[in-house]
Amino acid sequence: SHLYVCILLFSILPYIFGSLHLYFKHIFSVRLYQRLQAAGGQDNIIFSPLSVAVALGMVELGARGASLEEIRQAVGFSHLLPGVEFSLLQNLTAALLDDDSHYVIRFANSLFLQEDVTFNPEFLHLMKKYFRADVETVDFSESSAVAEQINKWVENHTDSKIRALLSADDFSSVTRLTLVNAVYFRGSWKNQFRPENTRTFSFSRDDGSEVQTLMMYQQGDFYYGEFSDGSQEAGGVYQVLEMPYEGEDMSMMIVLPRQEVPLASLEPIIKAPLLEEWANNVKRQKVEIYLPRFKVEQKIDLKDTLQELGIKNIFTNNADLSAMTDVEDLYIGKAVQKAYLEVTEEGAEGAVGSGMIALTRTLVLYPQVMADHPFFFIIRNRRTGSILFMGRVMTPEIIDPNDHAFDSM
Ligand SMILES: *[C@@H]1O[C@H](CO)[C@@H](O)[C@H](O)[C@H]1NC(C)=O
Ligand SMILES: *[C@@H]1O[C@H](CO)[C@@H](O)[C@H](O)[C@H]1NC(C)=O
């Protein structure tokens, strides 16, 4: 019967991990998106659900009681055996960091704590084990110096791509603990766009106004599907295009409503199972793509956003961070995330140009994806399904050619 139990466990495990894993990846991601969308007006959105989950995992390691439970609930870990989520997060990030030959991902996640606070050694050990992270110490009473020190740290962990994350105003004399979360990704398209095919083009925003943008073009084999949003008009069809980055582990999925339909009317249907449906139903085929060259960046006050998702306790005087340190009355004063994404012809500098499929006139009419109006996007790991970025482009922000070092950040 021992053997039987083992076999049963083995056959259940993939199911348990698979489905809960899915719950966490997608429900949490979509809930975050919906919060940002509700607050975002007509703004572009970009954030990293995986990176937020990792940052929360770090806090969870030091939390107990309600502080711990709220995080497990909100992120979708409450059905896992206690502690399994750390191994899950470790595996999901390892899957991204493993293969750095094709793309660059930098997570800069850390807890910054007041200098004279002593940490529980077990907490420090687990931070290293699961997140390969150290806890950093600063002196919050020197608010300008601390902002500079944290910014330097973030810069150093993001190849100088993310700068000036925090300012002196972000701290006060009572700050004891700050959560910093920055993520940077640079991938190179598997099928690159040819710069000579890029043209100036009009992009119609949801409010009816138009902006000039640089529109890239290519025809090639991609993952593509058409889905229905349930409306009667023109079959209610919207398009989903998945463009792999070199190595095919990572991809960008673009979800584009019909020309006359604002993105705002598609956003409410975006739900966790739908993300899975898109991923499972796009098929490899020849597609003609018009995609703006754009950048999108956002700094999110995670404190506000997470509180709306039910993670409140860690930000109050009632926080229980007793697994982190014996010091009482410790709570998280500040939590921010900054994400940045740039989409260009090659996707990354220094990439080797891949062959462009010659334009041949045949009778086949390929589906055309014309992203000249707002769209939703996801950058995901195709092996694990984890979502590195999620967001939307309401106005394609032009990339300044002189800004290639991202100095303005
Ligand atoms: C993480 O990966 C290890 C090694 O592959 C595996 O044994 C473990 O079950 C994984 N954990 C989760 C939660 O998937
Ligand atoms: C930058 O990072 C490297 C490697 O992680 C480390 O050795 C170095 O001390 C860091 N420098 C600063 C200024 O943080």
What is the number of the ligand closest to the CA of 154?
A: 2
- CATH 2.30.39.10 in the chain is located at 195-294+351-403
Which among 156, 162, 165 is the best mutation to test ligand 2's pocket, defined by most ligand atoms within 8 Å of the CB?
Answer: 156
Q: Residue 127: what residue type?
A: M
Fill in the DSSP letter of residue 48: -
**What are 103's strand-pairing partners?**
187
CATH 3.30.497.10 domain residues, the chain: 2-187+296-341
Both tokens assigned to 8: 């049963």
Three-state SS at 189: strand
**What totals of helices (H) and strands (E) does the chain contain, helices first?**
10, 14
Residue 234 is predicted with a pLDDT of 63
What pTM does this model have? 0.86
Mean pLDDT of 268-297: 93
Q: What is the pLDDT of residues 183-234, one digit of tens each?
A: 888 888 999 999 888 888 899 999 999 999 999 999 999 999 999 988 776 6
% of the chain with per-residue pLDDT over 90: 46
In angstroms, the CA 237 to CA 260 distance is 11
Given a contact cutoff of 8 angstroms between Cβ atoms, the answer to whether 106 and 159 are in contact is yes
Task: Collect contacts of 10-17 with beta carbons under 8 A, ≥24 apart.
Answer: 17/88
CATH of domain 2-187+296-341: 3.30.497.10
> Residue of the nearest CA to atom 12 in ligand 1?
88
Indicate the class that CATH gives domain 195-294+351-403. Answer: mainly beta
| Closest listed ligand to the CA of 157 | 2
Predicted pLDDT of residue 203: 94
User: For the segment 159-182, what is each residue's pLDDT rounded down to a tens digit?
Assistant: 887 888 888 888 887 888 888 888
- Ranking 7-21, 196-210, 332-346 by mean pLDDT, the lowest is 7-21
* Residue 101 pLDDT > 70: no
Closest CA to 193 of 295, 346, 360: 346
The C-alpha angle with vertex 204 and arms to 198 and 210, in degrees rounded to 5, equals 90
pLDDT tens for 35-65 read 999 988 899 999 999 989 999 999 999 999 9
The structure tokens listed for 65 are 């009681």
Pick the atom of ligand 2 nearest to 153's CA: 14
